[in-house]
Structures are given as structure tokens and as C-alpha cells.
Structure 1
Amino acid sequence: MTNPYGGGYPSYEPGPNPYDGPAAGARAPFDGVSIAALVCSLTCCAAPVGIGLGVAGIVRTGQGRRSGRWAAVTGLVVGLLVLAAGLAFVVFAVVMGSRTVWEDEASVGQCIDVDLFDDPVKATCGEPHAGEVIWTGRFDGARVEAFGEVPLADFCAALPGLDPAYAEAIVGGDFDVRIETDSFDEDEPDSGDPFFCYLVRADGEKFDGLIGDGVGTEGA
């Protein structure tokens, strides 16, 4: 068909569809959300955010609309790993906290074990255990002064009200004396800090029963 006013009709060529991927030869823009996913996933507190951004980044980089899909995938995977590790640590901390023998909650005759960090934890007296609490209380001025001047065994043996059976176990040589204190510096306690003394087998073996009942010196 010819144009009655002269000349030909202008040709029409459709422009690029904004929903299609980048034109051939054009470089796709880098997706900032994917980079944000990777950065957030590397931090413990922001790992859940990194997971969400990673999913969004995977969607945004689909069909080549944007580059950076590797960052979105990496952010998602790392975020999941960090989140799983964080949850595992929380569970571990809760379990350890529930088993710990706290200085202001310990009681004389309480049976204990020793964990991987060499800290006393709760144990059942009827089963093999590592030691037994022999005295609980708080530091005062005199005890703070004595604590730094005498051996630990002598310090615990001289505490008021110590059961004679425990005093005998201290001097008998079958047990070592240990102390657990709530001081910032365990070697320099302050007046008012709670603490407890406890005994463990000198040979490192566990025993059944209670030291105060005359058992534990033969081993299990």
C-alpha cells in the first residue's frame, strides 16, 4: 500500500520487552539483593535475613534477568549453615547450663562429674561419679586472706562445720581438693563471692556412693 500523501509508511519495530531477559550481547545488571544475601549470611544474627534475601535473589536472577545468582545461592546455603550452627550452640548452652553446679546453689553431699571444660556438673550419687561437694559458703575478709596464704587442701579442711568424714578424706590422700568460686578472678576472690569445696579421686577414677558414708576410697 502506498501513502496517498507521498512517501512510504514508516516502519514499526517493537522495542524490547521489559519482562524478557537482556538483549543478546548486553550485560545483565548485577543484583544487589543477592550481594546483600551473601553479606548478611556471614553474620550470625543476620543469617535469617540472609536466607530470605537469598531466596529473593534466586528469583530475581532467574532467566538471566540479572547477574549474581551465585551470590544468592551462596548466601542461602551459608545462611542455613550459620543458622543451624547457632541453634545447635543455643541447645548446647541450655543443656550445659541446666547441668552446671552453680556456686550459690551447690549443697553439701551433692555428687558431681567434671565436663570437658573441667567444670563441675550434676551427677547421680548411685552411679559412678567424679566427686562430691564437701562445703558451701561465701568468702569473707578472713577467708580471702587465708585463701592466698595456705594450700587449698588446708583452706578447705579449716572451714567451719566441715564434716569429720570429709576432713579425714582430705588428709587420707585418696582425694584431691578442688574449689569452685564465682569470682571474676578465681585466684583472687572478693569478700561475698560464693564458693564450694569438693573432692575428686586422686587417681582420676570415678566411684559410687557418698564419701561421707565411708565409700569411694576403693574405687569403682
Structure 2
Amino acid sequence: MSNPYEPDPHKPQDPQQGGSGGGFSDQPYGQGGQYGGQQYGGQGGGYGGQYGGGQPGGQQFSAPYSNPFGAQPYGQQQPTSTDGVSIAGFVLSLTCCLSFVGAILGFIGLSRTKNDQRKGRWAAVSAIVIGLIGTLVAVGVIVFAVTVGLNTVTPGNAEVGQCADKSFEDDDAIGLRDADCDEPHDVEIVYAGDYSDVEDAVADEGFDIDELSDNEIAGVACTTLVGDEYSEVQTSEYVVGILAENVPPGSADAILCYVERSDGDELDAPLAD
């Protein structure tokens, strides 16, 4: 009698059964059989075949995608150009007269370079800072110049009875600054007119004006031209001086005559009677 469990030698063996046995394999679990066809990470199926490209020992997970051109991620584009408004503002902020315009362009450039839309934000910030400082300096200089100009006494704007302090003095010129006659001051204006008046006064006194020094001209002409209210200035307690619009003066140039104390002390009250 034949053994019913003995395999028929003439019948082909099922490769899925993995051996010469019957329905059960004598191989260890995971080798051969329906679970042992391919190990994980091998060729063909399993996770190794899916992510490893079908190569033995392939990686189970691929590397993150990298951009070979080094571009920024989507939505983070780099600025491609430098903002001309910011650069122009920076240049103008360095000038003495257009620093205010430079500051304005700096504020505009600050908006144009926001969020790295354009390059040149440093120029916009610098234009604002330098432009504002330059503007303040320019305003200060203008205010100072206007103040000095309004307070400066010249032959063209001098008035008789006006008091002044000396802002500077040298051998050829003198500077006068408006002062309060009721406060201590250096000089008082006793005559204002044209140089032709001086020429006439010197000639009336019998002198040749070309042969006189400036002090002699002042002594002769100014003491003659002053009004009666300044009669006391002809005493030795005071000295007179003359200031012309131009040096040497022409007949049509404005002049003024001033009086100061001979001892160098300040005047403390108006001289006019």
C-alpha cells in the first residue's frame, strides 16, 4: 500500500511550498513560503522596492528635494535692483542747500525698500538722518545770518540817534551792532548821509580832502555836519569817527559819523540834548 502523504515523484513540486514536504514547509518562518518570497529591503516588492529603486539594500526614504540653482523658496524672492530714489536722497542729503530734499527722498526710499522689495535701504536711512541734521544746521545758519543782518548797523541803514556796539574793529574798518541807548553801549550815530556832504564840509572849512587822513576828515566834517543837539560832542571828552560804504568812498556812497568816549569807557545814555 502506498503512503497517501508521500508526494508523487511524477508530480511537479509547488515552489510556494518550499521543499519536498506536503502542505507545510519545514523551513523557518519568514523563509520561503508565502511570507518568505522577498525580505524587506531586498529586490522587487516590499518597501525597499518602492523607495529604494529596486536595488538591494535601497534606502527606505528619499532625501528632501534640493534646488541645484540655489534659489530661495517660493515667496521669498531677493531684490534685484538698487532703489535710485534712496541713492539720490543720500547724495542730496550731503549737500548744504538740498539736505531737506534728501531727507524727503529718504522717507520715500524707506517705503520703496520695505520688505526687501529693492536694495539700498541703508541709503534711505542715511539720507533721513543726514538730511534732517543738515536741515537743522542750515536753518540755524539762516536764522543767525538774518538776526545778525537785522542787527548790523551800516552806512546804508544807519539813523541819527541810533546807538551801537562794536562787533569788530581794525585799522581799515569797524563793525557796528544795534544796541539800546538806555543800556551801556560803545557809540552813537550823530550823522548819516552821502560822502559828497563830507567833501563839501571839508572844502567849506578850507581844507583839501585828499591831503587829510581819515581821522582828520572825520574831525573836520563830522563835527561840522552834526546838528545842534550834539554840540557837546565837540569837546575833548568825545571823539568822532566816520564809516563809509566803500573804501575808498565815492561821492554817492553812504557814510555815517559816530561818537564815542575818548577814555574808552562806554556810553550809558543818549548824547542828544
Question: Does the pair score TM above 0.5?
Answer: yes
- Aligned residue among 233, 238, 241 for 1:178: 241
Partner of 1:217: none
CA distance in 2, matches of 1:161, 1:142: 8
The answer (yes or no) to whether the contact 1:103–1:182 under 8 Å persists in 2 is: yes
> How many residue pairs get matched?
189
Task: Name the CA shift for 1:130/1:85 in 2 (closer, same or farther; >3 Å).
Answer: same
Structure 2 length normalisation: TM-score? 0.58
- Aligned residue among 233, 252, 258 for 1:192: 252
> How far has the Cα of 1:138 moved from its partner?
0.5
Letter of the 2:177 counterpart: V
> How far has the Cα of 1:44 moved from its partner?
3.2
| Counterpart mapping for 1:62-77 below 5 A | 62-77=114-129
Partner of 1:156: 218
| Counterpart mapping for 1:10-21 below 5 A | 20-21=76-77
Task: Please say if 1:165 is aligned against 2:217.
Answer: no
Structure 2: which 5+ runs fail to align?
Answer: 1-70, 203-207
Letter of the 1:122 counterpart: D
Partner of 1:34: 86
Partner of 1:112: 164
Task: Please say if 1:44 is aligned against 2:107.
Answer: no
Query: Which of 1 and 2 has higher RCO (CA within 8 Å, sep 6+)?
Result: 1
Partner of 2:183: 127
CA distance in 1, matches of 2:264, 2:75: 72
SS in 2 for 1:125: coil
Q: Could you say what the CA RMSD is over the residues aligned between the two structures, in angstroms?
A: 3.2
> How far has the Cα of 1:71 moved from its partner?
1.4
SS in 1 for 2:156: coil
> How far has the Cα of 1:188 moved from its partner?
0.9
Task: Name the CA shift for 1:141/1:115 in 2 (closer, same or farther; >3 Å).
Answer: closer
Structure 1: which 5+ runs fail to align?
Answer: 1-14, 214-220
CA distance in 2, matches of 1:175, 1:18: 90
CA distance in 2, matches of 1:147, 1:50: 57
SS in 1 for 2:160: coil
CA distance in 2, matches of 1:59, 1:37: 13
Task: Please say if 1:209 is aligned against 2:269.
Answer: yes
The answer (yes or no) to whether the contact 1:20–1:65 under 8 Å persists in 2 is: no
SS in 1 for 2:182: coil
Same amino acid, percent of matched pairs: 33
